[in-house]
Structure 1
Amino acid sequence: MKDRFTFPAILVPEEAGGFVVSFPDFPEALTSGGDLEEALALAEDCLAEAVAGHIDDGEEIPVPSESAADHSIVLPAHIALKASLYLTMREARVNKIALAKMMDVNEKEVRRMLDPHHGTRLQTMERALKALGKRIHVQVA
């Protein structure tokens, strides 16, 4: 089974040195780095911001394509958890108010859980996903 939050990235060498990084699944996401290490590090940040933008804008988060890309970029864990909650809510057709009622919390707390730039405790994310019938499964590679 393909990882839901590992996306293909295409690296193109620049004439002056370094690499431009693009994502087939996120045409709006583009970054570059002075060397391969920097390009890959910035690619992770760029991917995280692209996913955060989709969450903020209420847009679908694409399933990673089977692109023959140079590299695969893994979404940072805290963003992957928020994206998982977001996708689970969309799939279940549960809005923020409904989830807040299910969890017996203020709707503002659910908004924070979905905010990619807000540091939400792992236990809170587990509780929210459990309320939706899901659980977190951790895999370290």
Structure 2
Amino acid sequence: MKTFFLKFFTWWNSQTFGTQLTIWRVGVFVGEDEFGNRYYRSSFAKDPALGHERRWVVYQGQAEASAIPPGWWGWMHHRTAEPPTATAYQPRPWQQPHQPNATGTADAYRPPGSTLSAGRRPKATGDYQAWTPGP
């Protein structure tokens, strides 16, 4: 019952009923990445409104766009015509593995001196001179 309500009322938990219906009607499964995300394309060649093939992803778990690996990102954004499953895609040495976005969590980066960082804020060094309005 919980799964039914999650699919019906939320879009950030995998897919909605509308997406499921679209996949059933016009979706063609293309492949799956190492995170379990599933990639689809439309069964017709070009979407008249877009002028190119429609492509989409159904995330495994919570929807986070940064969880798409580089090879699939290129395919999703029409940089390559063939998906990484059809070619022997090898990531470039400068491409980093996925790290989840930690913004808004306890693991978020907090620079030294931030009011949210642990510890005490360092005292002022005296090199700052406050601005005062002129006459």
User: What is the TM-score of this pair, normalised by structure 1?
Assistant: 0.25
Q: Which of the two has greater strand per residue? A: 1
Query: Quick check: which has more Rg, 1 or 2?
Result: 2
Specify which structure has the bigger relative contact order, considering alpha-carbon pairs within 8 angstroms and separated by 6 or more residues: 1
TM-score, normalised to structure 2, is: 0.26
Task: Name the one with the larger helix percent.
Answer: 1
